[in-house]
Amino acid sequence: MRLIRKNTVLHCLLITCLISVFLNLSPATVFAGGGENGAKNVILFIGDGMGWAQVVVARNFVHGAGGELNMERLEHSGYVSTFSLQSLITDSAAAATAMATGHKTVNGVIGQSVHGEEYKTILEIARDMGKSTGLVTTTEVTHATPAAFAAHEDSRERSGAIAEDYLRSSRPDVIMGGGLQVWTAVPLKEARDMGYKVVFTKEELERLDAANTDKLLGLFDTGRMSFAMDRRMDEPSLIDMSLKALGILSKNQEGFFLLIEGGLIDHAGHNNDNRAVLYDTIAFDETVGAVTEWLKTNSLSDKTLVIVTSDHETGGLAVTGPKNYLPKRGDKVEIKWVSGHHTAVDVPIWAQGPGAEKVNGRMDNTEIFGLMRDAIETAAVVERP
């Protein structure tokens, strides 16, 4: 019996060595979980404040009643519950923390428990695996949603501390959005000293050569950026920022993690602004289309898990008409708002790529973290101790 066991072990070691030589790996290198359902890259889209009604409003305007938005064309779909640890109605800090870490926390807290225990985020996991990482948003770059992926603070209001967390702890390779007022002279100098190229306008971003840029900090407004319908000529669009981020991050042979937030859908909801919620939802969806097309063009679709979802719904938006008429492309539907605040309704989720088949029916927002982590860990090549 011992001889059989010894021969079996030797036989397995021989096979491992032969496979390693064939794959040009060292004998100590093994695949974790194979790679059949693994993702080299993860792109998470969050339409902040985007519920089902916001999607319906945009869909009808762009395509008419029978059409589909870009996000609705992704292969798998479901819906997500959003409650926080102690409240049926979440805020962006708690909801984003749930997606980033897999843990519920209380409203207002970033990347940690109510007792101060720091939760490791999907961005930090990707970074530790050697992947490049990025945050792109139309709000301030230190706003609650991006902050939950790269900072650990007891209050979302601690913007200066969140900026310091970015530079001194999580170190995303790409950070783009608004919020220049938070980055006083000292953090900007620190960012430059760390190798970040810093840009402030659309023109500067366009001139930037992604091939020669490894770290980028883009700050395009003192506070949040403009609504899509009001965007200034010197301000890049969400598409502009996202594609530049992809050009930088995708150079890493180990892969990347990228968060893309359409953050002003939420602001439009708080304001009960019909036009702003329409055009910012459309701009968010157009970014989904541009990014998925970029992945296809660059032969990365089958290596990239793409998830599109929301942190919560804002405004209690309802589509109430038109009655006895099907809207055609360009028609605006009739809507009503019931609140100027967040609501507790479930939000949509769509996904495609390796691991996306797990998006099916109801999910909790904490499950999105596990979906992303499992996808990149399945595809990872790890070293034996």
Q: Is pLDDT at 31 greater than 90 in this prediction?
A: no
Q: Is pLDDT at 240 greater than 60 in this prediction?
A: yes
Average pLDDT, stretch 33-59?
88
pLDDT attached to residue 184: 86
CA angle 110/135/114 to nearest 5° reads 5
pLDDT attached to residue 28: 31
Of 16-30, 59-73, 136-150, 308-322, the poorest mean pLDDT is in 16-30
pLDDT attached to residue 380: 77
Q: Is pLDDT at 22 greater than 60 in this prediction?
A: no
Average pLDDT, stretch 101-125?
98
Q: Is pLDDT at 5 greater than 70 in this prediction?
A: no
Q: Is pLDDT at 29 greater than 50 in this prediction?
A: no
Average pLDDT, stretch 165-171?
97
Q: Is pLDDT at 34 greater than 80 in this prediction?
A: no
CATH superfamily of 35-383: Alkaline Phosphatase, subunit A (3.40.720.10)
C-alpha 334 chain-centroid distance: 31
Q: Is pLDDT at 20 greater than 60 in this prediction?
A: no
Average pLDDT, stretch 4-11?
40
Average pLDDT, stretch 215-232?
97
Percent of the chain with pLDDT strictly greater than 90: 87
Label residue 383 by pLDDT band (50, 70, 90). very low
Average pLDDT of the chain is: 91
Q: Would you tell me how many other CB atoms lie within 10 Å of the CB of residue 364?
A: 16
Q: Report the alpha-carbon distance of residue 132 to residue 145 in Å, rounded.
A: 19
Label residue 36 by pLDDT band (50, 70, 90). low
Q: Is pLDDT at 267 greater than 80 in this prediction?
A: yes
Q: Which residues pair with 245 in a beta bridge?
A: none
* Domain regions of the chain by residue span: 1-31, 35-383
> Among 53, 40, 43, 115, which Cα is nearest to 85's?
115
Q: Which of 81, 87, 92, 170 is catalytic?
A: 92
Q: Report the alpha-carbon distance of residue 30 to residue 20 in Å, rounded.
A: 8
Q: Is pLDDT at 18 greater than 50 in this prediction?
A: no
Catalytic status, residue 226: no
Of 173-182, 324-333, 364-373, the poorest mean pLDDT is in 324-333
| Residue 357 DSSP label | G
